[in-house]
Homo-oligomer: A and B are copies of this chain.
Amino acid sequence: MLTDDFHVFDTTLRDGAQREGISYSVGDKLAVARLLDTLGVGFIEGGWPGAVPKDTEFFARAADGELKLEHATLVAFGSTRKAGVGVAVDAQVRALLDSRASVVTLVAKSDVWHVERALRTSLEENLAMVSDTVSFLVGEGRRVFLDCEHFFDGYAHDRDYGVRVLEAAQEAGADVGVLCDTNGGMLPMGIAEIVAEVRSRVGIRLGIHTQDDTGCAVANTLAAVSAGVTHVQGTANGYGERAGNANIFSVIGGLVFKMGLDVLPAGTIGESQRVAHAIAEIANLAPDTHAPYVGSSAFAHKAGLHASAIKMGPELYNHMSPELVGNSQKILITEMAGRASVELKSAELGVDVTGRPEVVSSVVERVKEREAGGWSYEAADASFELLVRDELAGGSFSAPFELESYRAIVDRREDGTVVTEATVKVHADGRRVISTAEGNGPVNALDRALRQALGDVYPRLAEFELTDFKVRILPGKHGTDAVTRVLIETADAAGDWTTVGVHPNIIEASWLALADAVRFGLLPPSA
């Protein structure tokens, strides 16, 4: 267990849920909280009990034993009491007690403009609201943090008022005053300056909450820490309203690897990539492949020429070792592919080509030949792996099926309806199968017909889902026709994989990528 010296405070489930399109079930919230606990954050802000019914239920189920946390403390979020209302009878404040969370974050206005124009109360009443609510909750045995909303904008309007809010909170017993850049318009230089000024004026421990509207949320958080803040708020993958919140994985990466602060329990930071991707899945959003530290491309190198240099000295080309955050280095196989990159890439995919120089040579040859014809393996690891396995098996690597022929028909009728059907004839498991299916397009129809044909032999096919389909027309070279390159991403419960097909005909290019997708997905786990 960590000491209380530094707080990593996650608000994925509260502020992060403000992102357009995110809608967690209570079960989702419990799963996200467990993942964040695995990462080792100190605090998990779970929601706003009393204001959001799902959040009320979440806290009830968590308190009733559905959420066992090893590292983190669960936090309930709420507002200071209403203007002109006694704190003990404020229903929203009572709901915070009812949530049974031992820590409460209260949001308070700290900008005179917001007090007067949005809250429409007096500056003194707002201070009393802070003071009353903090005292009441502390009196009930709760630990209280105060989120000072619009603190930085407020500092520009009246640099004393925010300080008075912090003083009121401290006097009433709050533990942390969190300076929030709610509108997200700050840069790190301004953050560092204001944090330093505020620190010199108040005694309460300070925290930071940033939004990414200038693209500086992570840097703003780190700048606040170097100015003396010891409580940082962020969300998984930077989810949040508008441009999002500070990405907690990047904040943690900066604190641990760049600033040398041990803000997580020993051994948990290696869970970063897994937690980041799993939360994306639960939020039903594609993980950002280019996210710092945890993106699947965060350590990807396209430099074919430099692959041999990277092989010899990865520390020359990576800002840190990717394994520290559970990530790995990725070599992109491009036109310039040499032996070194084929070896590195194969090792990365778990295919052993050591001691097989002739296999490496023929893979290099085939890749060069195919790339000259428009193929690209850069984004199609699965097709590349199949190619290496084919070469390793001397061309006799077994395929799960053989195609005899297919036909796809798209019919746009006089009434405007469009009907598509495809027929495939395949051989699998010693049988010849003819299968016809309709689809919302020719590739979809072919995909359905193929799965239908193979479904009896390979029931696992039912779990595969075609999740992305990209098409690119490549201009012809030296007087040849243009070719079409199709990339298909397929997923099942265990992960996703990308395959490529290239042909002058878009349907045949799609077919080649589809066939590879099925072949790859059906590889035995030990292959």
Contacts and interface: CB of A to CB of B under 8 A. Distances in A.
A330 B291 CA distance: 26
A312 to B, nearest CB: 8
A490 interface: no
A328 to B, nearest CB: 13
A121 interface: no
Interface string A8-22: 000000000011110
A319 B213 contact: yes
A284 B214 contact: no
A409 B412 contact: no
Interface in A500-515: 503-508, 511
B507 A441 contact: yes
B213 A222 contact: no
A113 interface: yes
A49 B117 CA distance: 58
Interface string A280-303: 000010000111110101111111
A505 B441 contact: yes
A411 interface: yes
Interface string A469-511: 1111111000001001000000000000000000111111001
A292 B506 CA distance: 35
Contact of A320 (B185, B192, B406): B185
Contacts of A319: 183-185, 213-214
Interface range, A side: 35 or more
Contacts of A150: 316
A506 B299 CA distance: 35
Given A292-B243, A297-B20, A470 B118 contact: no
Given A118-B309, A471-B470, A414 B410 contact: no
A194 to B, nearest CB: 14
Nearest to A212: B292
A434 interface: no
A508 B219 contact: no
Nearest to A184: B319
Contacts of A19: 290, 302
A373 interface: no
Contact of A317 (B183, B259, B504): B183
A68 interface: no
Given A219-B216, A407-B409, A20 B505 contact: no
A250 B214 contact: yes
A217 to B, nearest CB: 8
Contact of A316 (B118, B216, B247, B503): B118
6 contacts: A241-B303, A284-B472, A408-B410, A441-B505, A442-B506, A470-B472
